[in-house]
Amino acid sequence: MHKIAIPSYAIERALARRGRLHPFEDLDPARTALVVVDLQNGFMVPGQPAEIAQAREIVPAVNRLARATRAAGGTVVSIQNTITPESEQSWSVWLGNFADDAWGPRMRQAFTPGDFGHELYPDLNVLPGDLTVRKTRFSAFSTTELHRRLRERRIETLILAGVSTSGVVLSTVRDALDRDYEVCVLADAVADGDPQTHRFLIEQLFPRSANTIYTGDLPRYSDASRAATVHDGAL
């Protein structure tokens, strides 16, 4: 697992911009959603075309957080990267130029609904009451009804976990912020195939777009009567 200490310059920048280290000091559980992006076999299982080995290491933390979120009355959402005949046409620039050669057909097959690679990773704790959303772009928002479904539940805060830091996580953070959500990125529950890229993005997201923290440092839910916390000792 990538282990990163937020550097002092990022902390100083955050304090200079917003006057406090963590902008969201309390979470209302009923208005909080854990969004788990792309923890599918195609990204997780050895030998799959988009394997990110580090992603397997974050699953226990994601599962603990999912349990705590449900116990507090929050929402858990699983996002599935999906490739369809329609998306191959509508997203032809990326699929035709950046997912080509021998790797491209393997990717297309792996993330086709019904394929082993498209399925959620079996070690991931997914329950019937959770939401599942299929997406056909990097962002979990741009081709889905995620925003509508979250707003129907009056969700205001998103906690992001999953893969990859430089792809879906980054795109989803930016789109969530544009849609006026409070966004927390869990530095120990996201992963990327390139540790240096992961480190850079965690450091840069921290002062600019999201509250970048570790699972043990998440603020307590504000509703004391349902104060299931996500601190390590309570998980």
Quick: pLDDT tens for 116-129.
Answer: 999 999 999 999 99
pLDDT in tens, 32-69: 999 999 999 999 999 999 999 999 999 999 999 999 99
- The two tokens of residue 19 are 């006057």
pTM of the shown model: 0.88
Select from 158, 212, 164 the least CA-distant residue to 185.
Answer: 212
Q: Model confidence at 231, in pLDDT bands (50, 70, 90)? A: very low
On the question of pLDDT at 19 being above 50, the answer is yes
pLDDT, tens digit (0-9, with 9 covering 90-100), for 208-220? 778 877 777 666 5
- What is the torsional sign of CA 188, 197, 206, 4? positive
Domains in the chain with CATH codes = 10-234 (3.40.50.850)
Q: Is the pLDDT of residue 230 over 50?
A: no
Query: Hey, which of 26-30, 91-95, 136-140, 163-167 has the most confident mean pLDDT?
Result: 136-140
Q: Which two tokens stand for residue 164?
A: 């990859």
- On whether the CB atoms of residues 44 and 58 are closer than 8 A, the answer is no
Please report the pLDDT score of residue 220 as a whole number. 56
Q: Torsion over CA of 99, 114, 123 and 154, rounded to 10 degrees?
A: 90
pLDDT digits (tens, 9 = 90+) for 69-112: 999 999 999 999 999 999 989 998 888 888 777 788 888 899 99
Please state the rounded mean pLDDT for residues 141-170: 95
- Point out the least confidently predicted range of 77-86, 147-156, 199-208: 199-208
Report pLDDT for 139.
96
